[in-house]
Structure 1
Amino acid sequence: MSFAQDVAVLKYSGGGDWYSNPTALPNLVKYCNNNINTRINTSVQTVEVGSSDIFEFPFIHMTGHGNVFFNEDDAENLRNYLISGGFLHIDDNYGMEPFITKELKKVFPNKELIELPNNHPIFSSVYPFNAGLPKIHEHDGKAPKAFGIFNEDRLILLFTFESDLGDGWEDEAVHNDPSEAREKALKMGANIIKYAFEN
């Protein structure tokens, strides 16, 4: 198989565990290649937020539990990447939300995270999720929410909160999630990949 696309995990500063869920994105890539006819390189790369290499990837995934810090160069680089056609999916692995929302203000001082309605196309690009983002891990027991940042009506950044999709993408032995939850997580992930590549 020849690969048409590469995806990457975002490495950031601040002490947060950007490297958590190491099997998540590779498993999602395999799922997409097997089920929705993508041709994504199964060798998932790591890219630093301030690196020019970021522009080589149409889709970047970011996760973690803790602190995130972007310096001015990081923020400018990420802003240029997203405005020029890139897509960033941030999946809160629990505890990331207060840090990432603050740092995103450096990237887009004049943009807000907007909660996506359940009828947004990202919830039906391949598989229908009529109730919106699925709940994979309980954590605080709050409802899962999906937020976006838009540029000229294009969704350029997706922030998934209180869902923990990445845990559902990991190898089954890591979290012992039931197969139904893992399937929901992978299907929602496939929706995100499909949407990101086509919009």
Structure 2
Amino acid sequence: MRRIALILLFNFILLNFNAQEVAVLKYSGGGDWYSNPTSLPNLISFCNERINTKLNVKPETVEVGSSDIFQYPLVHMTGHGNVYFSVEDAENLRNYLISGGFLHIDDNYGMEPFITRELKKVFPNKDLVELPANHIIFNIAFPFKNGLPKIHEHDGKRPQAFGIYHEGRLVLLFTYESDLGDGWEDPTVHNDSEDVREKALKMGANIIKYAFEN
């Protein structure tokens, strides 16, 4: 028990040494973890400009089972298809999250059944719970009075933001039927209007600000 506590303390220290960096999460299972290559760089540039972050505009890639994950207070995960976490991956991700890390999972369409299944390996006794529209993450930098914005239609369902809490802290955010990442991409990729892209980027900035400050 003491050994586990020391490991978690050490990991927490590592997280705080690199207080403002984000990374893309690489996972197994065949899903396209690398989709939306312009998304995160564009969001980072927006955040550096609008909420005064000082992030590297070329985010690193980190594997879910690597100890390198502890270098980043925020890790972003996306894709369309299958996700698979080994026992070691799940344990590493759980330790990362409970020691101060934050994971944002953005369903790029078709990811939901797979990530829901795999998160049960990470937190067997926890469920994804929907965040209310008045949650601070929707207002911390830019206001979204109705909660998560709708960026792409997909199945026409309402956008939903789900979270997992550990000891009262939101450690994981899963954005579903919104597709923020598509809205962060270069304008020519999806031909979204400026208004749609602005909404997506502002919500992304809220997520980054929340992860760094909570």
**TM-score of the superposed pair, with normalisation by structure 1:** 0.98
Is 2:61 aligned against 1:46? yes
Aligned mates of 1:136, 1:159 — CA distance in 2? 15
Aligned mates of 1:5, 1:116 — CA distance in 2? 25
Structure 2 match to 1:12: 27
Deviation track 1:142-197 (CA, whole Å, cap 9, x = no partner) reads 00000000011110000000000000000011111111000000000000000000
Aligned mates of 2:19, 2:171 — CA distance in 1? 21
Structure 1 gap ranges (5+): none
Structure 1 match to 2:124: 109
Cα 1:192–1:79 change in 2 (3 A) is same
Q: 1:155 aligns with which of 151, 158, 170?
A: 170
Aligned mates of 2:210, 2:20 — CA distance in 1? 14
Q: Which has the higher helix share?
A: 2
Q: Write out the 4+ residue segments of structure 1 that deviate beyond 4 Å after TM superposition.
A: none
Aligned mates of 1:102, 1:13 — CA distance in 2? 14
**Structure 1 segment 41-190 matched on structure 2, within 5 A:** 41-190=56-205
> Which amino acid is the alignment partner of residue 156 of structure 1?
V
Deviation track 1:35-78 (CA, whole Å, cap 9, x = no partner) reads 00111111210000000000000000000000000000000000
Larger radius of gyration: 2
Aligned mates of 1:169, 1:91 — CA distance in 2? 12
Deviation track 1:72-121 (CA, whole Å, cap 9, x = no partner) reads 00000000000000000000000000000000000000011000000000
> Which amino acid is the alignment partner of residue 175 of structure 2?
T
- Asked if 1 retains the 8 angstrom alpha-carbon contact of 2:163 and 2:170, the reply is yes
> Which amino acid is the alignment partner of residue 81 of structure 1?
Y
**TM-score of the superposed pair, with normalisation by structure 2:** 0.91
> Which amino acid is the alignment partner of residue 93 of structure 1?
N
- Asked if 1 retains the 8 angstrom alpha-carbon contact of 2:20 and 2:212, the reply is no
User: Share of identical aligned residues, percent?
Assistant: 77
Aligned mates of 1:119, 1:6 — CA distance in 2? 27
State how many pairs are aligned.
Answer: 197
Structure 2 gap ranges (5+): 1-17
- Per the alignment, in what secondary structure is the counterpart of residue 77 of structure 1? helix
CA RMSD between the two structures: 0.9
- Asked if 2 retains the 8 angstrom alpha-carbon contact of 1:7 and 1:40, the reply is yes
Aligned-pair CA distance for 1:23: 0.5
